[in-house]
Structures are given as C-alpha cells and as structure tokens.
Amino acid sequence: MVNFELFVFYVFAAILVFSASRVITVRNPVFAAMFLVLTFFTCAGIWLLLEAEFLAITLVLVYVGAVMVLFLFVVMMLDVNVEPGREGFVSYLPVGLLVGAIMLIEMIFLITQRYFKSENFPPPARAAEDVSNTKELGRLLYSEYLFQFEIAAIILLVAIVAAIALTMRRRPDTKYQKPSEQIGVTKAERLRVVQMPSEKR
C-alpha cells in the first residue's frame, strides 16, 4: 500500500507544480485564478496523505471556498487587460532574477545544512485509527499554544476592524432604507382623507 501512496503523491505533486506554474504563465486572469483553485485543492490532497485532514479540509473551506471566490469576483469585475502589464517585462527581469537567486541560495543553505537534511526527518509514524486529528489540534491550540493563538486572533480582528474603518464612510447621496422606520409607519403619516363633493356630470 505504501507504493500506491507514493504513486498518489507523485500524481498530486505533478498536478500541483503544473497548475502553480500555469497561475503565472496563463494569459487570462480568470484562468489564472482557476488554476490557483486547482493548486489549493491538490495541496489539500497532499495534506490528506500526511493525515492532516483538519488542515486539508480547512484549506479547501477557507481558501477555495471563500478567498478564491472573492478573488474571482474581483478579477471578473475588473476585466484586466494583460497586454500592457507585459510591457516592462525586460526592464524588470534583472530585479526578478536577483530576488529569485537570493531565494534559491537561501533555500539551498537551508536544505543542505545538517539540521534540515531529509535523513533527519523520518516519515512520521502512522497514527492509530481512533486518534482524531481535529481533537489533537484543538488540544494543542487551546493549551500549549493558547497565547500565540490569541495573538493571531487579535491581529485578524484588528485587520477586520481596519478594513471596515477604511471602507465605511458616510455617503449622503445614496438612499438606503431604514426598515425600523418603515415598520413604524402609521396610517396618519401616509394617508390623508380628503372630503370633497362628488363631481357633476
């Protein structure tokens, strides 16, 4: 069964690398966003192989189900034209190569060091069948890493408040309804009964 797992891993990894490279090479931004969705989905598949089912499903739920939907929403609305974006390609190329080279060197340093060699990381032992990944994660988050968890939560909350504060402004020209006032309307406010004689033929 181990070989089959390896086979599945390679299939997923191939799809992952292919779709991730297509994200930046494909011309149409909508297709790029869809490839990014495929990348996330395949990544979740690989995480499932690592028995990290909670993280895998959360990845699909948060990134595929919510973030990318909003992304697509924006990309479709903007109707981006790609061509002008490619004009400065040559002039930006040296900077891009420099950044890429630095990242490559850093990664080589990391991976070739003795602490991070793959021999130092034997494949984790299979968890017993009744071990719930979710429960273990929750236990760790709310006991050992509670402080870090709370800090992350506060940062997210601040981000939400900031985003709302930036976009919420009074716009006097827009007309919106106040349902409480609509419900509170009485007959006297809207209806005027006029007494008048009937018209002659």
Residues making contact with another protein (CB under 8 A): 1, 4, 30-31, 34, 37, 53-54, 57-58, 60-61, 64-66, 69-70, 72-73, 76-77, 132-135, 176-177, 179
Nearest-approach distance from CB 38 to another protein, in angstroms: 11
At 122, list the tokens: 């034997």
Judged by beta carbon, residue 65 or residue 96, the one nearer another protein is 65
Residue appearing with tokens 């028995």: 51
Judged by beta carbon, residue 77 or residue 188, the one nearer another protein is 77
In the chain, the N- to C-terminal Cα span, in Å, equals 98
Nearest-approach distance from CB 46 to another protein, in angstroms: 16
Nearest-approach distance from CB 104 to another protein, in angstroms: 34
Judged by beta carbon, residue 4 or residue 115, the one nearer another protein is 4
Helix axes 29-49, 68-78, angle to 10 degrees: 170
What is the C-alpha to C-alpha distance for residues 124 and 110, in angstroms, rounded to an integer? 21
Judged by beta carbon, residue 127 or residue 152, the one nearer another protein is 127
* Sequence-ordered list of residues with C-beta below 8 angstroms from that of 80, at least 6 positions apart, any chain: 29
Sign of CA dihedral 67, 72, 77, 81: positive
Nearest-approach distance from CB 117 to another protein, in angstroms: 33
